[in-house]
Structure 1
């Protein structure tokens, strides 16, 4: 009996959750101002022996209405009671009042728990404290204004290393035998150590003579980032317009739009060819970080949208300007500098995890269908 895995729901005051010395797997947690419902899987002694318990009863298909000032979302690939206790202790230390808790995903490989907070807080230091706690507990912890817990009307995406799992310019360089040289420049630029425009010109000059014929072969081989198709499909189903804003190339962005991804608009850099090969020259204007931000602002203005209905997603230093523009700026698998400067960050999951930050749960996402 001691080695048998048990699954139970415990009913207890929220504060009592932090008092168990035992650790186990969390299946869900809900709370609405009275008693919490905590679903656990454990072996041996019960973590809360003196509380009411019953069989697991998975949460409602509809999350609670968001009525608090802030939302703090825990995204864990293997949620444990210790992780959850640390988050609750952290909120108490910060004097953040928890008004409601919902479980948006309760798969074994993906647990997403959203806490609604009423708190007078300064976003930047609070966000940084959340990042530190996230590293400590081995999860993602995302803080956002509760008004941003809704589906956006416009979403801007970086392409390289965001929608696709590569930096295209590096892939071109590998074929020409100068991969290490170009990759070093790209890495420095994405970390914010080099000016993007200057680094872009240097890399393009090194690619002079690359055959146009090879581009189509490379486009077919590009791997999408995990969750990219699902996120863009769901956004289209939800009526959100999507745009690629890339320091990469229109050639590949157009291919993705035509063959792989539900994207509405594209802004990227044009490749210049002469007699079937790259000239190594740059066609202005270069889509750098500030141009990405200006283009996203312009698109929102043309659509008559306030910036509160706009989100941006990226991974590199040249994405920071647009990540700090609208309701949410989600850094996906970001470089260290970007993780520190972006308003929100997802490091342990694919792009589709952004849907939880829009207030959707797994049941609602499933109803949108598959791409």
Structure 2
């Protein structure tokens, strides 16, 4: 006997018992369930169920309409050809990609523009869910690309990256599947990423050479001079600075908004979290203790007779050194580098972000944004969590369970 497909869509105020009433009606007719989708938006429920019935689908429709009326739900029932001709055996196609959209605000115009870009490369939107309403608005979009080839993947990424570079919207595109949910280690750059400002400029302010140091820093971040040369030139300007100045600077460091929330949440999820920095270990040690980080790598300033000599001792943590440190820490924790995330802001982070399974450019220079898998342009570090599929609701629920009474500004 051939079964008849029936698609039932119930809408109305969300309340306990709606699903129970609907499935009780379906049970009475002996149907076979093939698909279920449910979403709640601001207290309004949309519940869709695709079933197969062996006989009298009209009687099923009447039973469902009567049952849903008892819970004040509107219901739409489509039978047979009204819902298409694809066989049930085909099922629902698994999404090939997950797109994350972040904005402040996230406008209808920007979503419309993204949808148009997706349509231009035959990418179908399978599902959309809200992941954040603070400090940015975030949506997670599941996509299916008709021709799932490396060329199609590259074209999709290129189009979305070009769109994001125009500003006003942060866009991340990742492959669906286990690899996206298997990240286990996150490494952060420090200056202008985990913390606000550049430590070496703060030290330079103590000896009146901040403008000169800043000029060299900016040239290095733009990729105009290599990091090792820039570090040597800047550190040389610090010659004679009292060692105690490093502790004074460490006392004044301000974390980037959302940094504590980010580390706290990642640690709850079992991530190994640490920093790889072109900065200085004497100051970063304070961050390691304060945030409970699992590892750190940075440069060491030479001190003689209580004063800085203007030289760095040991191996320099430069652009290739950052990637080397990431691989070293991944090996130490037994985590494949494909399951690592790297976050940074400057050209000296290029190798590290390229080596990681996911590279996130945070308020970054163009040279880094071009190679990153995702780019964040808002000054809130916890937006990284949304790129990893963690929702604001989950973060706040975990904080509440731990007794943290955190109030939004």
- TM-score in terms of structure 2 length: 0.72
Find 1:196's aligned residue among 218, 227, 237. Answer: 227
CA RMSD of aligned residues (A): 2.6
- Corresponding residue number in structure 2 for 1:320: 350
The 8 Å contact of residues 136 and 383 in structure 2, kept in 1 or not, is answered as no
- Corresponding residue number in structure 2 for 1:288: 318
3-state SS of paired residue (1:182): helix
Describe how 1:227-266 pairs up with structure 2 within 5 A: 227-259=258-290, 261-266=291-296
3-state SS of paired residue (1:291): helix
Q: Distance in 2 between matches of 1:188 and 1:124?
A: 31
- Corresponding residue number in structure 2 for 1:268: 298
Q: Alpha-carbon deviation of 1:132?
A: 2.6
- Corresponding residue number in structure 1 for 2:44: 57
The 8 Å contact of residues 149 and 357 in structure 1, kept in 2 or not, is answered as no
Q: Distance in 2 between matches of 1:58 and 1:363?
A: 18
- Corresponding residue number in structure 2 for 1:27: none
Q: Distance in 2 between matches of 1:137 and 1:232?
A: 27
Find 2:110's aligned residue among 77, 83, 88. Answer: 83
Change (3 A) 1:273 1:171: same
1:116 and 2:123 are equivalent in the alignment = no
Q: Distance in 1 between matches of 2:94 and 2:320?
A: 34
1:221-244 deviations in whole A, cap 9, x for unaligned? Answer: 111111111101111111111121
- Corresponding residue number in structure 1 for 2:327: 297
Change (3 A) 1:78 1:207: same
The 8 Å contact of residues 151 and 240 in structure 1, kept in 2 or not, is answered as no
1:330 and 2:360 are equivalent in the alignment = yes
Change (3 A) 1:205 1:86: same
Q: Distance in 2 between matches of 1:270 and 1:160?
A: 16
Describe how 1:23-102 pairs up with structure 2 within 5 A: 56-57=43-44, 67-102=94-129
Q: Alpha-carbon deviation of 1:106?
A: 3.3
3-state SS of paired residue (1:279): strand
The count of corresponding residues between Structure 1 and Structure 2 is: 319
- Corresponding residue number in structure 2 for 1:363: 393
1:140-197 deviations in whole A, cap 9, x for unaligned? Answer: 1111222453262111111111111111111111221111111111111111111111
3-state SS of paired residue (1:272): strand
Find 1:178's aligned residue among 178, 190, 209. Answer: 209
Change (3 A) 1:114 1:58: farther
Q: Distance in 1 between matches of 2:167 and 2:220?
A: 30
Q: Distance in 2 between matches of 1:239 and 1:291?
A: 26
1:153 and 2:184 are equivalent in the alignment = yes
Q: Distance in 1 between matches of 2:103 and 2:300?
A: 40
1:66-110 deviations in whole A, cap 9, x for unaligned? Answer: 952211111011122222211111111121122221111135x52
Q: Alpha-carbon deviation of 1:131?
A: 2.8
Q: Distance in 1 between matches of 2:36 and 2:246?
A: 60
- TM-score in terms of structure 1 length: 0.79
The 8 Å contact of residues 73 and 112 in structure 1, kept in 2 or not, is answered as yes
Change (3 A) 1:302 1:203: same
Question: Which protein is bigger by CA-based radius of gyration?
Answer: 2
1:129 and 2:168 are equivalent in the alignment = no
- In structure 2, runs of 5+ residues without a counterpart are 1-10, 13-34, 48-92
Q: Alpha-carbon deviation of 1:137?
A: 6.5
- In structure 1, runs of 5+ residues without a counterpart are 1-8, 11-32, 40-54, 61-65
The 8 Å contact of residues 236 and 262 in structure 1, kept in 2 or not, is answered as no
1:204-236 deviations in whole A, cap 9, x for unaligned? Answer: 111100111121111111111111111011111
Q: Alpha-carbon deviation of 1:36?
A: 10
